[in-house]
């Protein structure tokens, strides 16, 4: 017999405990995201996988905002974030902090996600791009790699928040960050 666990049984940590808990050495970068639902969902997913930070770039909206909160469900309070009006500023910040920059984008030399071997001792920034235009050429040129999530249907892209979940789960699974 199976039953759904109660909220208490899930043993979720508080926002204060979250701030003190170890994080995966990952920053999620949102490059000119239009949809506040995608932004909120990214916060919520980033909370679930305990990322270090989210960088919001360009036209990407910032908390607090009612439309972001709808899907974030409070994750804007737990996940650290920073805003950069200019993409070059975000790239400079990442480079100064010694991040490897990985654009999640379909390019002529993309590395398929299943072939990506993350190094848990290296800080990694995963860049997710605009819903229509993808990751900007600026980020692609500065990237260590471009990662592609294989797809087999008629569409050529996934929703950003889905892509964030797939990439972060792949990272956590491969690094076994929370299992060791």
Cα 84 from Cα 124, distance rounded (Å) = 18
Reported residue count of the chain is: 180
Q: Take residue 96 and report the two structure tokens written for it.
A: 């100064």
Cα 179 from Cα 88, distance rounded (Å) = 36
Cα 83 from Cα 135, distance rounded (Å) = 17
pLDDT, tens digit, for every residue of 122-163? 999 999 999 999 999 999 999 999 999 999 999 989 999 999
Given the candidates 3.40.50.300, 3.40.50.150, 1.10.3720.10, 3.40.1280.10, the CATH classification of the domain at 15-150 is 3.40.1280.10
pLDDT, tens digit, for every residue of 33-57? 999 999 999 999 999 999 999 999 9
pTM score = 0.96
Strand partners, 163: none
Residue extents of the structural domains in the chain: 15-150
Q: Take residue 57 and report the two structure tokens written for it.
A: 């770039």
Strand partners, 111: 147
Cα 150 from Cα 15, distance rounded (Å) = 35
């Amino acid at each position: 017999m199976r039953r759904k666990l109660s909220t208490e049984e899930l043993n979720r940590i508080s926002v204060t405990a979250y701030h003190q808990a170890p994080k995966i050495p990952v920053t999620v970068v949102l490059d000119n995201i239009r949809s506040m639902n995608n932004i909120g969902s990214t916060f919520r997913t980033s909370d679930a996988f305990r990322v270090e930070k989210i960088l919001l770039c360009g036209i990407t909206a910032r908390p607090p905002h009612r439309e972001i909160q709808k899907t974030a469900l409070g994750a804007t309070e737990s996940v650290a974030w920073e805003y950069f009006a200019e993409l070059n500023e975000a790239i400079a910040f990442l480079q100064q902090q010694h991040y490897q920059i990985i654009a999640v984008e379909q390019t002529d030399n993309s590395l398929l996600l299943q072939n990506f071997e993350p190094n848990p001792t290296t800080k990694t920034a995963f860049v997710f791009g605009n819903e229509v235009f993808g990751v900007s050429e600026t980020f692609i040129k500065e990237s260590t790699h471009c990662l592609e999530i294989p797809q087999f249907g008629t569409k050529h892209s996934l929703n950003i928040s889905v892509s964030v979940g797939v990439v972060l789960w792949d990272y956590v699974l491969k690094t076994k960050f929370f299992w060791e």
